[in-house]
Chains A and B, each alone.
Chain A
Amino acid sequence: MTVRNRRPFFYLAVAVICILLVLPVITFMINAFAFRWFYPQFIPAEWSLQAWERLQLIPPEGERTLTNWLALLGSSDVIDALVVSLVIGVGVTLFSVVIGLPAARALGMHKFRGKRIVEFMILAPTIVPSIAFVLGLNINFIRWELSGSLFGVALVHLVPVMPYVVLTLSGVFANYNPDFEDQARTLGAGPLRTFWYVTLPAIFPGIVVAALFAFLVSWSQYLLTFLIGAGRVITLPILLFASASGGNNAVIAVMSLIFIAPAILTLLVTSRYLSGESGAVGGFGRI
């Protein structure tokens, strides 16, 4: 197939992506700043920040002083939820990468008895629906007094996060030559400095991608947070689901924008590690 023949498919693909992904975001943007937006208006006739004010993300008009801006930090549910989501997301990311590295190294570099079973067990959370295991987990979490705590929610987020982290990193280790570590050791680097100067630079692109997956998977958890959080851990998705049934389009739009902002930001920052050249996503070739 020549390049010329491929062009129409390329444009078609771009068009589909735009309609599915970009258009809804634009709609959110308009909704978030619309005062009223009725059919058959193409764009709203009146604009306002009323949804932002209602969610206490901006002080009311005429009261936008520094003290009032700062006062929002303590009083806005959305900002509180954003902080909770961030704390859980970052915590889950760090923890999942730290415990995922040894597992990925073992899976990527060694052959051992029962490897297929271990791989399947690690993949299982992507196949088994959350609802199937979380109810059972919930009983134990209540017994261990983890229910309703930040730590408990972070812990349960690890279940759907680990497959992504381990698979991404094991792909990196599959192409990794451990002789580099031996080389560094004989040149005078101890185990810690060998990791810092030799292992880490080699696997860093993979770690970035794994961390990105970990953060996004944790960020978008609803069911697990809802059940294990027991109404006491309010993350953004919990708030978003609640407001989505409220029917105020402007409020839903504002919350959705806030919800997708970190995802888009992290994607932009890490996009160069996602390219095929870095090999960081090689692990998925084996699924």
Chain B
Amino acid sequence: MTHVILSNLTKSFPGNPVAAVNTMNLDIPSGQLVAFLGPSGCGKTTTLKMIAGLITPTVGDITFDGASVLAVPPEKRGAVMVFQNYLLFPYMSVGQNVGFGLKMRGVEPKVIDRKVIEMLDLVKLPNIANRRPRQLSGGQQQRVALARALITEPKVLLLDEPLSNLDAHLRDEMRELILSIQRNLGVTMIFVTHDQEEAVLLANQIALIFDGVLQQYAAPDVFYRQPISERAARFFGGINFVPATRRGERLETAFGAFHVRTPGVENAPEGEVTLTIRPEQVVLNPADDENCTSGRIRSRIYVGTYTRYKIMIGDIEIEATRSGDIDHALNEGDAVRVGFPADRIWVVGRS
């Protein structure tokens, strides 16, 4: 249970004028599961390694429970990292791998053996202590890596892309395991990922990072309803962006005026803005006429559990999805009424 605070954290590498991590301020309450999300090279792994003590920040501070840890070397910091490719030591058995952290702390061999068994039970891999890491599957290796990290009772557990090397059903299993460990042990966990799905699946809070700068730090659903920018919206699969002029609740676009009453929109930009709405929130042939306009269906793509429509409104393309069975009343070339519910529209600054 550790409260981690990053303040003005900055890292510049020699020979590179652009800071890899730029003035990052982040408050990670005790026992949270936070995702650092961003495209590769955005500085998220650098930030993680700074928390672990493997990279020294150029400017700024990192505190665990209020005390700065900058002067604490990685082996004493209590921030344990689990790497994406697991990095089990190939010269040791699974049991020796898991017990490594305790051995480094000078714990008695007998106690280590007992704890190793406990930990392997916790990650649901009993009776494999004598195997060699290369005899295990990728998913098993990751659990062993997790057990090896947890045995030291870390203050902060740092995970590098914890789900990305796993196939679909293992992802679910691993997610359940990480969440249950997090609930039971209450350890503060931070993980980095470039995959928004992975972040949404696991995290309580997501820190979205672009180009070394923290963009938005919020719960996962906020990124769908109230993205901070067009780029943030696009990163979470947003696709509909329409230039608009906003005055209070009123949005003027090339194809008509709309009202916006989404909670939180009062803090969003005014004037020249971009209207955005998620494809699943666009209503086709709505019952009432508020926030409605007319378009023509350009294409219909049936994806199984839902159908994707591309609709031309003037020369602007809007995408809408409808879940459930295919609707044979809506065909390519048909005229259609398109509704943007006032409490679903969002506005971001014009980029």
Contacts and interface: CB of A to CB of B under 8 A. Distances in A.
Contacts of B74: 182, 185-186
Interface residues of B, number: 26
Contacts of A188: 75-76, 101, 104-105, 152
Interface stretch (B48-56, B195-203, B279-287): B48-56
Given A182-B49, A193-B104, A187 B80 contact: yes
Given A180-B89, A201-B91, A187 B104 contact: yes
A21 B312 CA distance: 83
Interface in A169-209: 177, 179-180, 182-190, 193, 197-198, 201-202
A232 to B, nearest CB: 46
B49 A187 contact: no
A132 B312 CA distance: 81
Considering the complex of A and B, which 7 residue pairs feature the smallest CB-CB distances, nearest first? A188-B104, A185-B74, A187-B101, A201-B91, A186-B81, A183-B87, A189-B104
B149 interface: yes
A183 B83 CA distance: 8
Interface in B88-109: 89-91, 100-101, 104-105
Contacts of B77: 186
Contacts of A177: 87
B100 A187 contact: yes
Name which of A179, A184, A188 has the most chain B CB atoms within 10 A of its CB: A188
A179 B54 CA distance: 10
B52 A186 contact: yes
B33 interface: no
Given A182-B49, A182-B81, A187 B91 contact: no
B91 A186 contact: no
Contacts of B80: 186-187
Secondary structure call for the B interface: mixed
Contacts of A193: 104
Interface of A: 177, 179-180, 182-190, 193, 197-198, 201-202
Given A177-B87, A182-B81, A190 B73 contact: yes
Nearest to B102: A188
B81 A184 contact: no
B148 A187 contact: yes
Nearest to B100: A187
Contact of B89 (A185, A186, A198): A198
14 contacts: A177-B87, A179-B83, A180-B87, A182-B54, A182-B83, A185-B74, A186-B77, A186-B81, A187-B75, A187-B104, A188-B76, A188-B105, A189-B104, A190-B73
Contact of B75 (A179, A180, A190, A198): A190
A197 B73 CA distance: 18
A182 B49 CA distance: 9
Contacts of A184: 89, 100, 104
B35 interface: no
Nearest to A204: B91
B74 to A, nearest CB: 4
Name which of A179, A183, A190, A193 has the most chain B CB atoms within 10 A of its CB: A183
